[in-house]
Amino acid sequence: MSNQTKRKEVNMFDFSLLFIVLFLLCFGLVMIYSVSSYEASMRFGDAAYFLKSQLLATGLGLVLMIVIANIKYPFWEKFATLAFVISHVLVLLVLSPLGIERNNARRWLDIFGTSLQPAEVAKLGIILFMASFICKIGTKNIGTLKGFLTVLIMPLPLCFIVWQITTNLSSAIIIFGIVLLMLFVASPKYKHFIVAGVVGMVVVMIIVFVIINVAASDNLGFRSERVLAWLDPEAYAQGRGFQTLQALYAIGSGGFFGKGLGQSMQKLGFLPEAQNDMIFSIISEELGLFGAIAIILMFMLLVWRFMYVAREADLFGTLLVVGVMGHIVIQVIINIGVVTNLIPNTGITLPFISYGGSSVTFLLIEIGLVLSVAKFGKQIAVEKEQNAV
């Protein structure tokens, strides 16, 4: 290979995408310290306790990202089925002695003294497996009802065990949403999606209607209570609506430019899990509407880079990028929707910004796959076209 060819390949590395991710990571670390320092001091006597933990996970994720970005992505197709199987096994292991319970939820594994959230592994596993599976089925077969339903059925067992074993319905929805977006991109026909969308909306409306009409029952599950608290948070101010109200107070008190970095009042014990799924409300309080919009714009730029990378690659590479994009977009929408009370409360973190070691590590692994597609995608697509001829 000539030096000119080597330089051409190096120039294909997507530094714009890398910069956006690094910006979000650095911003997240700053906000984690700002948001968590008070609670960390009270609980652990170390204001930087959460920051140090996140730094370790971020460092590990960055190393893995760089390694994966420099490996041609078709290499990982050989491990797609294995990743799918491992995802199921890890979720099932939550029921074993390795399972860890926190905040009345059993969603983590103790692996050599380090906690691992299997749902995050499952999101990566489903992206790899479904990208490979859709390529094997072929876009023509996906256009048929049989092919469409076959792809939709594949993630359901994983979604079910994530929902039932880890009581994490939101992660199950994200996993299914990732597959749905990948299927949408690969499908040559869209009428199935229109029908599925209408049916889904009707089902959701029926569920909400039923919950409202049985609100007098003393046997409501916690998810039903979350729906009622979403509809009228003030009526549940001492229960399920407390966190939502505190988040809204934080957002409302921030104004346009905010109170200033580190000046939040809600993080001083008023807003539970502020550094986790509610960090966006503290961003709005400290940096105001301006800071909140800036972060949303950064995520929009990230999506733009994903779309640019996806269109240059072959089908497998495109589906990998779309899967990662779906994961991040759905999670951002759910997180901001919860914080602003647009949807019922659920514990989903804000990608790259919220505290969570498993989340940031596996997100960076996924970014490594996208960077690999950005670097090698066009070259591999051309080679496939030449071989086909």
What is the DSSP annotation of 93-128?
Answer: GGGSTTEEEETTEEEEEEETTEEE-HHHHHHHHHHH
What is the spatial distance between Cα 122 and Cα 171, in angstroms, rounded to a whole number? 9
| Average of per-residue pLDDT across 82-89 | 96
Q: Percent of the chain beyond pLDDT 90?
A: 54
- The greatest distance separating any two alpha carbons of the chain, rounded to the nearest whole angstrom, comes to 75
pLDDT of the residue at 221: 58
The confidence band for 82, taking pLDDT boundaries of 50, 70 and 90, is very high
pTM, 2 dp: 0.91
78 in a domain, yes or no?
yes
pLDDT of the residue at 329: 96
63 in a domain, yes or no?
yes
pLDDT of the residue at 232: 75
28 in a domain, yes or no?
yes
What is the spatial distance between Cα 262 and Cα 275, in angstroms, rounded to a whole number? 13
pLDDT of the residue at 13: 78
45 sits in which H/E element? none
Judged against a pLDDT cut of 80, whether residue 216 lies above it is answered with no
pLDDT of the residue at 222: 58
pLDDT of the residue at 365: 97
Judged against a pLDDT cut of 80, whether residue 207 lies above it is answered with no
Within 10 A of 62 (CB to CB), how many other CB atoms are there?
18
Q: Compute the 3-state secondary structure of the chain and give helix, strand, coil in percent, each to the nearest 5.
A: 75, 5, 25
The confidence band for 223, taking pLDDT boundaries of 50, 70 and 90, is low
332 in a domain, yes or no?
yes
159 in a domain, yes or no?
yes
AA letter at 73: Y
Could you give the number of structural domains in the chain?
A: 1
343 in a domain, yes or no?
yes
pLDDT of the residue at 8: 47
pLDDT of the residue at 105: 76
Judged against a pLDDT cut of 80, whether residue 204 lies above it is answered with no
Summarize pLDDT for 111-164 with one digit per residue, the tens: 877 889 999 999 999 999 999 999 999 888 888 888 888 999 999 999 999 998
10 in a domain, yes or no?
no
Summarize pLDDT for 9-61 with one digit per residue, the tens: 444 678 999 999 999 999 999 999 999 999 999 889 899 999 999 999 999 99
Within 10 A of 25 (CB to CB), how many other CB atoms are there?
20
| Average of per-residue pLDDT across 82-93 | 95
5 in a domain, yes or no?
no
| Average of per-residue pLDDT across 238-249 | 83
Average pLDDT, the chain: 87
The residue segments making up the domain with residue 246 are: 17-388
Q: Percent of the chain beyond pLDDT 70?
A: 92
